[in-house]
Structure 1
Protein backbone atom coordinates (compact mmCIF):
# COMPACT_ATOMS: atom_id res chain seq x y z
CA UNK A 1 0.00 0.00 0.00
CA UNK A 2 1.37 3.42 -0.93
CA UNK A 3 2.11 5.99 1.77
CA UNK A 4 -1.02 8.03 1.10
CA UNK A 5 -3.11 4.88 1.31
CA UNK A 6 -1.45 3.97 4.60
CA UNK A 7 -2.21 7.40 6.03
CA UNK A 8 -5.80 7.09 4.85
CA UNK A 9 -6.11 3.68 6.51
CA UNK A 10 -4.83 5.07 9.80
CA UNK A 11 -7.15 8.06 9.62
CA UNK A 12 -10.13 5.85 8.82
CA UNK A 13 -9.19 3.64 11.75
CA UNK A 14 -9.53 6.67 14.01
CA UNK A 15 -12.88 7.58 12.45
CA UNK A 16 -14.13 4.05 13.04
CA UNK A 17 -12.83 3.98 16.62
CA UNK A 18 -14.94 7.04 17.48
CA UNK A 19 -18.02 5.81 15.63
CA UNK A 20 -17.77 8.06 12.61
CA UNK A 21 -16.86 11.42 14.14
CA UNK A 22 -14.63 13.00 11.50
CA UNK A 23 -14.06 16.09 13.65
CA UNK A 24 -12.66 14.07 16.55
CA UNK A 25 -10.63 11.84 14.26
CA UNK A 26 -9.20 14.82 12.36
CA UNK A 27 -8.00 16.50 15.55
CA UNK A 28 -6.38 13.27 16.75
CA UNK A 29 -4.80 12.61 13.37
CA UNK A 30 -3.34 16.12 13.24
CA UNK A 31 -1.88 15.65 16.71
CA UNK A 32 -0.43 12.29 15.67
CA UNK A 33 1.04 13.77 12.50
CA UNK A 34 2.82 16.40 14.57
CA UNK A 35 4.17 13.80 17.00
CA UNK A 36 5.42 11.03 14.71
CA UNK A 37 5.39 9.61 11.18
CA UNK A 38 1.79 8.54 10.53
CA UNK A 39 2.92 6.24 7.69
CA UNK A 40 4.61 3.97 10.22
CA UNK A 41 2.67 0.86 11.29
CA UNK A 42 -0.29 1.96 13.37
CA UNK A 43 0.34 -0.63 16.05
CA UNK A 44 3.71 1.02 16.85
CA UNK A 45 1.84 4.09 18.04
CA UNK A 46 -1.47 2.62 19.14
CA UNK A 47 -1.25 4.05 22.65
CA UNK A 48 -0.53 7.54 21.32
CA UNK A 49 -3.44 7.34 18.87
CA UNK A 50 -5.70 6.18 21.69
CA UNK A 51 -4.57 9.03 23.90
CA UNK A 52 -5.19 11.62 21.19
CA UNK A 53 -8.66 10.16 20.65
CA UNK A 54 -9.42 9.81 24.35
CA UNK A 55 -10.40 6.15 24.02
CA UNK A 56 -9.00 2.80 25.12
CA UNK A 57 -6.29 1.35 22.88
CA UNK A 58 -8.39 -1.79 22.38
CA UNK A 59 -10.96 0.25 20.45
CA UNK A 60 -8.27 1.53 18.10
CA UNK A 61 -6.91 -2.00 17.62
CA UNK A 62 -10.36 -3.41 16.83
CA UNK A 63 -11.04 -0.60 14.37
CA UNK A 64 -7.71 -1.14 12.64
CA UNK A 65 -8.25 -4.84 12.07
CA UNK A 66 -11.75 -4.06 10.81
CA UNK A 67 -10.58 -1.42 8.33
CA UNK A 68 -7.30 -2.88 7.06
CA UNK A 69 -8.75 -5.77 4.98
CA UNK A 70 -11.13 -3.38 3.23
CA UNK A 71 -8.26 -1.11 2.21
CA UNK A 72 -6.21 -4.10 1.05
CA UNK A 73 -9.09 -5.10 -1.24
CA UNK A 74 -8.91 -1.82 -3.15
CA UNK A 75 -8.49 -2.28 -6.89
CA UNK A 76 -5.14 -1.24 -8.36
CA UNK A 77 -6.99 1.34 -10.45
CA UNK A 78 -8.13 3.18 -7.30
CA UNK A 79 -6.00 6.07 -6.13
CA UNK A 80 -5.94 7.76 -2.71
CA UNK A 81 -5.27 11.50 -2.71
CA UNK A 82 -4.43 13.91 0.09
CA UNK A 83 -3.60 17.64 0.01
CA UNK A 84 0.04 16.81 -0.78
CA UNK A 85 -0.88 14.79 -3.88
CA UNK A 86 -0.21 16.50 -7.24
CA UNK A 87 -3.79 15.99 -8.41
CA UNK A 88 -5.44 17.17 -5.20
CA UNK A 89 -8.11 19.75 -6.18
CA UNK A 90 -7.04 22.91 -4.36
CA UNK A 91 -10.42 24.52 -5.01
CA UNK A 92 -12.02 22.44 -2.24
CA UNK A 93 -9.61 23.43 0.51
CA UNK A 94 -11.58 26.31 1.97
CA UNK A 95 -15.07 24.85 2.16
CA UNK A 96 -16.88 23.28 5.12
CA UNK A 97 -16.54 19.52 5.66
CA UNK A 98 -13.40 19.31 3.51
CA UNK A 99 -12.29 15.65 3.48
CA UNK A 100 -8.89 14.49 4.69
CA UNK A 101 -8.59 12.16 1.70
CA UNK A 102 -10.21 11.57 -1.69
CA UNK A 103 -10.58 8.21 -3.39
CA UNK A 104 -10.50 8.32 -7.18
CA UNK A 105 -10.77 5.88 -10.05
CA UNK A 106 -10.10 6.93 -13.60
CA UNK A 107 -8.53 10.02 -15.11
CA UNK A 108 -7.50 11.93 -11.97
CA UNK A 109 -6.20 14.81 -14.09
CA UNK A 110 -9.87 15.81 -14.53
CA UNK A 111 -9.72 17.14 -10.98
CA UNK A 112 -7.55 19.92 -12.40
CA UNK A 113 -9.90 20.67 -15.31
CA UNK A 114 -12.82 23.15 -15.19
CA UNK A 115 -16.04 21.31 -14.39
CA UNK A 116 -19.71 22.18 -14.01
CA UNK A 117 -22.29 20.16 -12.05
CA UNK A 118 -25.44 19.17 -13.91
CA UNK A 119 -27.93 17.92 -11.34
CA UNK A 120 -31.60 17.40 -10.65
CA UNK A 121 -34.43 15.16 -9.64
CA UNK A 122 -34.41 11.36 -9.77
CA UNK A 123 -37.87 11.52 -11.40
CA UNK A 124 -37.54 14.03 -14.23
CA UNK A 125 -40.08 14.93 -16.86
CA UNK A 126 -39.35 14.20 -20.50
CA UNK A 127 -38.55 17.89 -20.94
CA UNK A 128 -36.15 17.73 -17.99
CA UNK A 129 -34.30 14.79 -19.49
CA UNK A 130 -33.95 16.55 -22.81
CA UNK A 131 -32.76 19.71 -21.08
CA UNK A 132 -30.16 17.78 -19.06
CA UNK A 133 -28.87 16.15 -22.22
CA UNK A 134 -28.55 19.43 -24.08
CA UNK A 135 -26.92 21.07 -21.07
CA UNK A 136 -24.23 18.40 -20.91
CA UNK A 137 -23.58 18.60 -24.65
CA UNK A 138 -23.19 22.39 -24.56
CA UNK A 139 -20.82 22.21 -21.62
CA UNK A 140 -18.75 19.44 -23.15
CA UNK A 141 -18.47 21.24 -26.43
CA UNK A 142 -17.31 24.37 -24.57
CA UNK A 143 -14.53 22.44 -22.83
CA UNK A 144 -16.06 21.85 -19.41
CA UNK A 145 -16.12 18.45 -17.69
CA UNK A 146 -19.67 17.47 -16.73
CA UNK A 147 -19.90 16.58 -13.05
CA UNK A 148 -22.88 14.86 -11.50
CA UNK A 149 -23.81 12.51 -8.68
CA UNK A 150 -24.58 9.25 -10.55
CA UNK A 151 -28.12 9.20 -9.19
CA UNK A 152 -31.10 8.05 -11.22
CA UNK A 153 -32.82 10.64 -13.35
CA UNK A 154 -31.08 13.89 -14.31
CA UNK A 155 -27.65 12.77 -13.05
CA UNK A 156 -27.61 9.65 -15.17
CA UNK A 157 -28.79 11.53 -18.24
CA UNK A 158 -26.04 14.12 -17.79
CA UNK A 159 -23.30 11.49 -17.48
CA UNK A 160 -24.55 9.45 -20.44
CA UNK A 161 -24.87 12.50 -22.67
CA UNK A 162 -21.24 13.45 -22.03
CA UNK A 163 -19.98 9.90 -22.50
CA UNK A 164 -21.97 9.52 -25.70
CA UNK A 165 -19.93 12.19 -27.47
CA UNK A 166 -16.64 11.52 -25.75
CA UNK A 167 -16.75 14.52 -23.42
CA UNK A 168 -15.19 14.18 -19.96
CA UNK A 169 -17.50 13.46 -17.04
CA UNK A 170 -16.91 13.19 -13.30
CA UNK A 171 -19.13 11.11 -11.05
CA UNK A 172 -19.00 12.32 -7.44
CA UNK A 173 -20.50 9.50 -5.41
CA UNK A 174 -21.82 9.13 -1.86
CA UNK A 175 -20.47 5.62 -1.34
CA UNK A 176 -17.01 4.02 -1.38
CA UNK A 177 -15.56 3.39 -4.85
CA UNK A 178 -16.17 -0.34 -4.57
CA UNK A 179 -19.89 0.13 -3.99
CA UNK A 180 -22.57 0.82 -6.58
CA UNK A 181 -25.51 3.03 -5.72
CA UNK A 182 -28.00 2.93 -7.21
CA UNK A 183 -27.51 -0.65 -8.38
CA UNK A 184 -28.99 0.24 -11.75
CA UNK A 185 -25.95 2.43 -12.42
CA UNK A 186 -23.25 -0.15 -11.73
CA UNK A 187 -22.29 -0.41 -15.40
CA UNK A 188 -22.46 3.36 -15.83
CA UNK A 189 -20.12 3.84 -12.87
CA UNK A 190 -17.69 1.32 -14.34
CA UNK A 191 -17.83 3.05 -17.72
CA UNK A 192 -17.12 6.44 -16.13
CA UNK A 193 -14.17 4.94 -14.24
CA UNK A 194 -12.74 3.89 -17.63
CA UNK A 195 -13.60 6.97 -19.69
CA UNK A 196 -13.87 9.72 -17.08
CA UNK A 197 -13.43 9.88 -13.32
CA UNK A 198 -15.26 8.53 -10.29
CA UNK A 199 -14.41 10.31 -7.03
CA UNK A 200 -15.53 9.78 -3.44
CA UNK A 201 -14.69 11.25 -0.04
CA UNK A 202 -15.59 7.90 1.57
CA UNK A 203 -13.03 5.18 2.25
CA UNK A 204 -13.52 1.48 1.54
CA UNK A 205 -14.28 1.02 5.24
CA UNK A 206 -17.02 3.67 5.39
CA UNK A 207 -20.54 2.48 6.09
CA UNK A 208 -22.86 4.46 3.83
CA UNK A 209 -25.36 6.70 5.61
CA UNK A 210 -28.18 8.75 4.14
CA UNK A 211 -26.46 12.03 5.01
CA UNK A 212 -23.36 10.97 3.08
CA UNK A 213 -25.16 12.01 -0.09
CA UNK A 214 -25.38 15.61 1.13
CA UNK A 215 -21.65 15.52 1.86
CA UNK A 216 -21.33 14.23 -1.70
CA UNK A 217 -23.24 17.26 -2.95
CA UNK A 218 -21.05 19.62 -0.92
CA UNK A 219 -17.94 18.09 -2.45
CA UNK A 220 -19.38 18.14 -5.96
CA UNK A 221 -20.29 21.81 -5.66
CA UNK A 222 -16.83 22.70 -4.34
CA UNK A 223 -15.14 20.82 -7.19
CA UNK A 224 -17.23 22.67 -9.77
CA UNK A 225 -17.14 26.21 -11.06
CA UNK A 226 -20.93 26.23 -11.13
CA UNK A 227 -23.97 24.06 -10.54
CA UNK A 228 -26.87 23.79 -12.97
CA UNK A 229 -30.12 22.60 -11.39
CA UNK A 230 -32.07 21.30 -14.36
CA UNK A 231 -35.22 20.25 -12.52
CA UNK A 232 -35.96 19.36 -8.90
CA UNK A 233 -38.59 19.32 -6.19
CA UNK A 234 -38.58 21.56 -3.14
CA UNK A 235 -36.10 20.18 -0.62
CA UNK A 236 -34.42 17.90 -3.16
CA UNK A 237 -30.72 17.10 -3.14
CA UNK A 238 -30.01 19.32 -6.15
CA UNK A 239 -31.71 22.27 -4.43
CA UNK A 240 -29.49 21.71 -1.42
CA UNK A 241 -26.45 21.71 -3.64
CA UNK A 242 -27.66 25.04 -5.02
CA UNK A 243 -27.42 26.44 -1.51
CA UNK A 244 -23.98 24.92 -1.04
CA UNK A 245 -22.84 26.47 -4.33
CA UNK A 246 -23.69 29.98 -3.16
CA UNK A 247 -22.19 29.33 0.26
CA UNK A 248 -18.96 28.31 -1.49
CA UNK A 249 -18.98 31.37 -3.79
CA UNK A 250 -19.69 29.27 -6.86
CA UNK A 251 -22.17 30.14 -9.62
CA UNK A 252 -25.68 28.78 -9.88
CA UNK A 253 -27.73 28.36 -13.06
CA UNK A 254 -31.49 27.83 -13.12
CA UNK A 255 -33.71 27.50 -16.17
CA UNK A 256 -36.49 30.02 -16.72
CA UNK A 257 -39.03 27.23 -17.04
CA UNK A 258 -38.22 26.17 -13.46
CA UNK A 259 -38.75 29.74 -12.25
CA UNK A 260 -42.08 29.83 -14.09
CA UNK A 261 -43.19 26.50 -12.59
CA UNK A 262 -45.70 27.49 -9.89
CA UNK A 263 -45.72 24.00 -8.36
CA UNK A 264 -42.29 24.51 -6.75
CA UNK A 265 -40.96 27.39 -4.66
CA UNK A 266 -37.18 26.90 -4.71
CA UNK A 267 -36.37 28.59 -8.05
CA UNK A 268 -37.84 31.90 -6.96
CA UNK A 269 -35.97 31.70 -3.64
CA UNK A 270 -32.69 31.72 -5.56
CA UNK A 271 -33.53 33.87 -8.59
CA UNK A 272 -32.22 37.42 -8.25
CA UNK A 273 -29.44 36.57 -5.81
CA UNK A 274 -25.84 37.39 -6.55
CA UNK A 275 -24.00 34.73 -8.59
CA UNK A 276 -27.31 33.24 -9.77
CA UNK A 277 -28.15 33.13 -13.47
CA UNK A 278 -31.62 32.40 -14.81
CA UNK A 279 -31.25 31.18 -18.39
CA UNK A 280 -33.69 30.23 -21.12
CA UNK A 281 -31.67 27.71 -23.10
CA UNK A 282 -28.53 25.56 -22.66
CA UNK A 283 -26.65 27.50 -25.34
CA UNK A 284 -26.59 30.51 -22.99
CA UNK A 285 -24.75 28.63 -20.24
CA UNK A 286 -21.11 28.48 -21.47
CA UNK A 287 -21.14 32.09 -22.64
CA UNK A 288 -22.53 33.46 -19.38
CA UNK A 289 -20.28 31.29 -17.24
CA UNK A 290 -17.17 32.33 -19.15
CA UNK A 291 -18.23 35.95 -18.88
CA UNK A 292 -18.77 35.60 -15.13
CA UNK A 293 -15.41 33.91 -14.65
CA UNK A 294 -13.75 36.67 -16.64
CA UNK A 295 -15.44 39.46 -14.72
CA UNK A 296 -15.34 37.69 -11.33
CA UNK A 297 -18.82 38.97 -10.66
CA UNK A 298 -22.33 37.59 -10.32
CA UNK A 299 -25.60 39.01 -11.53
CA UNK A 300 -28.79 40.04 -9.86
CA UNK A 301 -29.31 41.72 -6.53
CA UNK A 302 -26.66 42.10 -3.81
CA UNK A 303 -26.05 38.90 -1.90
CA UNK A 304 -28.86 38.14 0.50
CA UNK A 305 -28.90 35.72 3.41
CA UNK A 306 -28.42 32.24 2.01
CA UNK A 307 -31.22 29.71 2.19
CA UNK A 308 -30.42 27.58 5.22
CA UNK A 309 -30.64 23.88 4.49
CA UNK A 310 -30.14 21.25 7.15
CA UNK A 311 -27.21 18.99 6.22
CA UNK A 312 -28.71 16.14 8.20
CA UNK A 313 -32.29 16.74 7.15
CA UNK A 314 -34.43 14.36 5.14
CA UNK A 315 -32.83 14.46 1.72
CA UNK A 316 -32.70 11.76 -0.90
CA UNK A 317 -29.52 10.80 -2.77
Structure 2
Protein backbone atom coordinates (compact mmCIF):
# COMPACT_ATOMS: atom_id res chain seq x y z
CA UNK A 1 0.00 0.00 0.00
CA UNK A 2 1.44 3.34 -1.07
CA UNK A 3 1.69 6.21 1.45
CA UNK A 4 -0.90 8.97 1.07
CA UNK A 5 -0.02 12.49 0.01
CA UNK A 6 0.05 14.73 3.08
CA UNK A 7 1.08 17.99 1.40
CA UNK A 8 0.68 18.97 -2.25
CA UNK A 9 2.02 22.17 -3.81
CA UNK A 10 0.49 22.65 -7.25
CA UNK A 11 1.31 19.06 -8.12
CA UNK A 12 4.96 20.14 -8.38
CA UNK A 13 5.96 19.02 -4.89
CA UNK A 14 4.29 16.27 -2.90
CA UNK A 15 5.14 15.12 0.59
CA UNK A 16 3.83 11.67 1.50
CA UNK A 17 2.73 10.67 4.99
CA UNK A 18 5.96 8.68 5.41
CA UNK A 19 8.01 11.84 4.71
CA UNK A 20 8.98 10.93 1.13
CA UNK A 21 9.27 13.99 -1.10
CA UNK A 22 8.59 13.87 -4.84
CA UNK A 23 9.32 16.85 -7.03
CA UNK A 24 8.53 17.51 -10.68
CA UNK A 25 11.81 18.04 -12.51
CA UNK A 26 11.85 21.61 -13.80
CA UNK A 27 15.60 21.56 -14.44
CA UNK A 28 15.34 20.22 -17.97
CA UNK A 29 14.04 21.75 -21.23
CA UNK A 30 11.50 23.13 -21.96
CA UNK A 31 11.28 24.52 -18.43
CA UNK A 32 15.02 25.00 -17.95
CA UNK A 33 17.03 27.21 -20.29
CA UNK A 34 20.79 26.50 -20.42
CA UNK A 35 23.16 29.42 -20.14
CA UNK A 36 24.38 30.40 -23.56
CA UNK A 37 26.84 32.96 -24.89
CA UNK A 38 24.87 32.94 -28.14
CA UNK A 39 21.81 34.58 -26.54
CA UNK A 40 21.04 38.23 -27.19
CA UNK A 41 22.01 38.74 -23.54
CA UNK A 42 25.00 36.45 -22.84
CA UNK A 43 24.98 34.43 -19.63
CA UNK A 44 27.24 31.93 -17.93
CA UNK A 45 26.75 29.56 -14.97
CA UNK A 46 29.29 29.52 -12.14
CA UNK A 47 29.71 27.16 -9.20
CA UNK A 48 30.06 28.96 -5.88
CA UNK A 49 30.16 26.05 -3.42
CA UNK A 50 30.43 22.46 -4.70
CA UNK A 51 29.61 21.09 -1.23
CA UNK A 52 26.13 22.63 -1.20
CA UNK A 53 25.81 22.71 -5.01
CA UNK A 54 25.32 26.47 -4.81
CA UNK A 55 25.54 28.12 -8.22
CA UNK A 56 24.58 31.34 -9.95
CA UNK A 57 23.95 32.60 -13.47
CA UNK A 58 25.72 35.78 -14.52
CA UNK A 59 24.22 37.98 -17.26
CA UNK A 60 25.85 40.91 -18.96
CA UNK A 61 24.20 43.51 -21.18
CA UNK A 62 24.44 42.83 -24.92
CA UNK A 63 26.68 45.85 -25.45
CA UNK A 64 29.40 46.39 -22.88
CA UNK A 65 30.11 50.05 -22.31
CA UNK A 66 33.58 51.46 -21.76
CA UNK A 67 32.45 52.62 -18.31
CA UNK A 68 31.96 50.50 -15.15
CA UNK A 69 28.57 48.79 -14.83
CA UNK A 70 26.46 48.37 -11.70
CA UNK A 71 25.94 44.86 -10.34
CA UNK A 72 22.46 43.57 -9.50
CA UNK A 73 22.24 40.51 -7.26
CA UNK A 74 18.92 38.87 -8.10
CA UNK A 75 17.14 36.35 -5.84
CA UNK A 76 14.19 34.64 -7.51
CA UNK A 77 10.81 33.76 -6.03
CA UNK A 78 8.89 30.51 -5.82
CA UNK A 79 7.72 30.27 -2.22
CA UNK A 80 11.20 29.09 -1.14
CA UNK A 81 10.32 25.79 -2.83
CA UNK A 82 10.39 26.22 -6.62
CA UNK A 83 12.51 27.36 -9.57
CA UNK A 84 16.13 28.30 -10.28
CA UNK A 85 17.75 31.04 -12.37
CA UNK A 86 17.53 28.64 -15.31
CA UNK A 87 13.73 28.36 -15.17
CA UNK A 88 12.62 29.82 -18.50
CA UNK A 89 10.58 32.76 -17.18
CA UNK A 90 13.23 33.77 -14.64
CA UNK A 91 15.96 33.42 -17.23
CA UNK A 92 14.12 35.78 -19.58
CA UNK A 93 13.35 38.18 -16.75
CA UNK A 94 16.99 38.38 -15.61
CA UNK A 95 18.24 38.75 -19.19
CA UNK A 96 15.85 41.62 -19.77
CA UNK A 97 16.91 43.18 -16.48
CA UNK A 98 20.57 43.17 -17.57
CA UNK A 99 19.68 44.72 -20.92
CA UNK A 100 17.23 47.33 -19.62
CA UNK A 101 19.47 48.57 -16.80
CA UNK A 102 22.86 48.09 -18.52
CA UNK A 103 23.95 46.08 -15.48
CA UNK A 104 25.70 42.86 -14.64
CA UNK A 105 23.02 40.59 -13.15
CA UNK A 106 24.05 37.87 -10.71
CA UNK A 107 21.12 35.45 -10.24
CA UNK A 108 21.50 33.04 -7.31
CA UNK A 109 20.36 29.38 -7.28
CA UNK A 110 19.78 28.86 -3.57
CA UNK A 111 18.74 25.52 -2.08
CA UNK A 112 15.02 24.83 -2.06
CA UNK A 113 12.59 23.65 0.61
CA UNK A 114 11.34 21.25 1.81
CA UNK A 115 14.53 19.26 1.16
CA UNK A 116 16.47 22.24 2.53
CA UNK A 117 14.35 24.23 4.94
CA UNK A 118 15.08 27.80 5.99
CA UNK A 119 17.58 29.18 6.81
CA UNK A 120 19.38 27.20 4.05
CA UNK A 121 18.32 29.76 1.41
CA UNK A 122 19.53 32.61 3.64
CA UNK A 123 22.89 30.88 4.12
CA UNK A 124 23.25 30.39 0.36
CA UNK A 125 22.48 33.98 -0.57
CA UNK A 126 24.85 35.19 2.13
CA UNK A 127 27.56 32.87 0.75
CA UNK A 128 26.89 34.15 -2.79
CA UNK A 129 27.28 37.76 -1.67
CA UNK A 130 30.58 36.97 0.04
CA UNK A 131 31.76 35.08 -3.06
CA UNK A 132 31.11 38.14 -5.24
CA UNK A 133 33.97 39.91 -3.50
CA UNK A 134 36.37 36.95 -3.75
CA UNK A 135 39.27 36.53 -6.15
CA UNK A 136 37.43 33.58 -7.71
CA UNK A 137 34.56 35.84 -8.70
CA UNK A 138 36.89 38.16 -10.58
CA UNK A 139 37.60 35.36 -13.08
CA UNK A 140 33.90 35.17 -13.96
CA UNK A 141 32.64 38.73 -13.67
CA UNK A 142 33.13 41.15 -16.51
CA UNK A 143 36.03 43.53 -15.98
CA UNK A 144 33.49 46.33 -16.13
CA UNK A 145 31.53 45.04 -13.10
CA UNK A 146 31.49 47.81 -10.48
CA UNK A 147 30.88 46.33 -7.03
CA UNK A 148 30.87 49.83 -5.55
CA UNK A 149 27.43 50.17 -7.19
CA UNK A 150 25.70 47.09 -5.84
CA UNK A 151 21.91 46.60 -5.94
CA UNK A 152 20.27 43.64 -4.21
CA UNK A 153 16.91 42.62 -5.65
CA UNK A 154 14.47 39.86 -4.79
CA UNK A 155 10.98 38.98 -5.87
CA UNK A 156 8.35 37.24 -3.75
CA UNK A 157 10.21 34.70 -1.57
CA UNK A 158 13.44 36.20 -2.91
CA UNK A 159 12.43 39.53 -1.38
CA UNK A 160 11.94 37.84 1.98
CA UNK A 161 15.31 36.10 1.63
CA UNK A 162 17.31 39.25 0.97
CA UNK A 163 15.49 41.06 3.78
CA UNK A 164 16.40 38.30 6.25
CA UNK A 165 19.99 38.15 5.00
CA UNK A 166 20.47 41.91 5.27
CA UNK A 167 18.70 41.99 8.65
CA UNK A 168 21.28 39.60 10.11
CA UNK A 169 24.30 41.06 8.35
CA UNK A 170 26.91 40.53 11.07
CA UNK A 171 30.17 39.75 9.29
CA UNK A 172 28.66 40.59 5.90
CA UNK A 173 30.47 43.68 4.67
CA UNK A 174 28.81 45.28 1.64
CA UNK A 175 30.43 48.70 1.35
CA UNK A 176 29.19 49.08 -2.22
CA UNK A 177 25.52 48.46 -1.42
CA UNK A 178 23.50 51.33 -2.87
CA UNK A 179 19.95 50.04 -3.11
CA UNK A 180 17.46 47.27 -2.31
CA UNK A 181 14.56 46.33 -4.61
CA UNK A 182 11.70 44.25 -3.21
CA UNK A 183 9.30 42.97 -5.85
CA UNK A 184 6.08 41.80 -4.17
CA UNK A 185 7.99 40.50 -1.13
CA UNK A 186 6.69 37.35 0.54
CA UNK A 187 5.92 38.11 4.19
CA UNK A 188 3.40 36.56 6.54
CA UNK A 189 1.82 36.42 9.98
CA UNK A 190 -0.90 34.28 11.49
CA UNK A 191 -3.16 37.32 11.42
CA UNK A 192 -4.49 37.88 7.91
CA UNK A 193 -4.30 41.27 6.21
CA UNK A 194 -7.33 42.72 4.45
CA UNK A 195 -5.88 41.89 1.03
CA UNK A 196 -5.33 38.28 2.09
CA UNK A 197 -8.93 38.05 3.30
CA UNK A 198 -10.06 38.94 -0.24
CA UNK A 199 -8.77 35.63 -1.59
CA UNK A 200 -11.20 33.68 -3.75
CA UNK A 201 -8.55 30.99 -4.34
CA UNK A 202 -8.67 31.75 -8.07
CA UNK A 203 -5.63 33.98 -8.58
CA UNK A 204 -2.04 33.19 -9.36
CA UNK A 205 -1.19 33.16 -5.67
CA UNK A 206 -3.83 31.72 -3.35
CA UNK A 207 -4.00 31.59 0.43
CA UNK A 208 -3.75 27.80 0.24
CA UNK A 209 -0.50 28.02 -1.75
CA UNK A 210 0.89 30.75 0.51
CA UNK A 211 0.25 28.65 3.61
CA UNK A 212 1.57 25.46 2.00
CA UNK A 213 4.86 27.12 1.12
CA UNK A 214 5.33 28.29 4.70
CA UNK A 215 4.61 24.78 6.00
CA UNK A 216 7.22 23.36 3.61
CA UNK A 217 9.85 26.04 4.23
CA UNK A 218 9.86 26.93 7.93
CA UNK A 219 12.21 25.06 10.28
CA UNK A 220 10.45 22.15 11.96
CA UNK A 221 12.50 22.44 15.15
CA UNK A 222 11.94 26.16 15.83
CA UNK A 223 9.14 27.72 17.83
CA UNK A 224 6.77 28.96 16.71
CA UNK A 225 6.40 26.70 13.68
CA UNK A 226 3.63 28.86 12.20
CA UNK A 227 3.58 32.18 10.31
CA UNK A 228 4.53 34.09 13.45
CA UNK A 229 8.05 32.70 13.07
CA UNK A 230 10.62 35.56 12.86
CA UNK A 231 11.60 34.51 9.32
CA UNK A 232 8.13 35.40 8.05
CA UNK A 233 8.28 39.11 8.86
CA UNK A 234 11.81 40.41 9.45
CA UNK A 235 11.85 43.88 11.04
CA UNK A 236 11.80 46.88 8.72
CA UNK A 237 14.42 48.71 10.78
CA UNK A 238 16.99 46.03 10.00
CA UNK A 239 17.03 46.92 6.31
CA UNK A 240 20.20 48.90 5.48
CA UNK A 241 19.83 52.66 5.24
CA UNK A 242 20.12 52.76 1.47
CA UNK A 243 17.61 53.44 -1.27
CA UNK A 244 14.66 51.04 -1.11
CA UNK A 245 12.19 50.38 -3.93
CA UNK A 246 9.09 48.30 -3.21
CA UNK A 247 6.74 47.05 -5.94
CA UNK A 248 3.33 45.43 -5.58
CA UNK A 249 0.22 44.69 -7.62
CA UNK A 250 -3.34 45.79 -6.97
CA UNK A 251 -4.54 42.20 -7.36
CA UNK A 252 -1.75 40.67 -5.31
CA UNK A 253 -2.90 39.05 -2.05
CA UNK A 254 0.36 40.20 -0.45
CA UNK A 255 -0.03 43.87 -1.44
CA UNK A 256 -0.95 45.07 2.08
CA UNK A 257 2.30 43.69 3.43
CA UNK A 258 4.32 45.74 0.91
CA UNK A 259 2.39 48.88 1.84
CA UNK A 260 2.89 48.18 5.56
CA UNK A 261 6.65 47.77 5.05
CA UNK A 262 6.93 51.13 3.28
CA UNK A 263 4.85 52.81 6.00
CA UNK A 264 7.14 51.36 8.68
CA UNK A 265 10.26 52.54 6.86
CA UNK A 266 8.86 56.05 6.54
CA UNK A 267 7.96 56.11 10.25
CA UNK A 268 11.62 55.32 10.89
CA UNK A 269 12.54 58.48 9.00
CA UNK A 270 13.81 56.72 5.90
CA UNK A 271 13.46 59.18 3.03
CA UNK A 272 14.88 57.19 0.10
CA UNK A 273 11.90 54.83 -0.07
CA UNK A 274 9.71 54.27 -3.14
CA UNK A 275 6.44 52.37 -3.44
CA UNK A 276 5.09 51.49 -6.89
CA UNK A 277 1.67 49.87 -7.21
CA UNK A 278 0.50 48.29 -10.46
CA UNK A 279 -3.29 48.36 -9.92
CA UNK A 280 -4.27 45.70 -12.47
CA UNK A 281 -1.47 43.23 -11.80
CA UNK A 282 -1.39 39.96 -9.84
CA UNK A 283 1.56 38.31 -8.16
CA UNK A 284 4.76 37.83 -10.20
CA UNK A 285 3.40 39.63 -13.28
CA UNK A 286 6.96 40.51 -14.37
CA UNK A 287 7.92 36.86 -14.89
CA UNK A 288 4.59 35.57 -16.16
CA UNK A 289 4.45 38.25 -18.86
CA UNK A 290 8.03 39.37 -19.37
CA UNK A 291 7.24 41.44 -22.46
CA UNK A 292 3.94 42.85 -21.19
CA UNK A 293 3.19 46.54 -20.79
CA UNK A 294 3.39 46.41 -16.99
CA UNK A 295 6.71 44.55 -17.11
CA UNK A 296 8.09 47.13 -19.52
CA UNK A 297 7.02 49.93 -17.19
CA UNK A 298 8.60 48.10 -14.25
CA UNK A 299 11.90 47.75 -16.12
CA UNK A 300 11.86 51.50 -16.73
CA UNK A 301 11.31 52.18 -13.02
CA UNK A 302 14.10 49.81 -12.01
CA UNK A 303 16.43 51.36 -14.59
CA UNK A 304 15.73 54.82 -13.17
CA UNK A 305 16.33 53.54 -9.63
CA UNK A 306 19.64 51.90 -10.57
CA UNK A 307 20.83 54.93 -12.56
CA UNK A 308 20.71 57.06 -9.37
CA UNK A 309 23.85 55.29 -8.26
More strand by share: 2
State the structure with more CA Rg.
1
Q: Structure 1-normalised TM-score?
A: 0.31
Q: Please, what TM-score do these two structures have when normalized by structure 2?
A: 0.32
Pick the structure with more helix per residue.
1
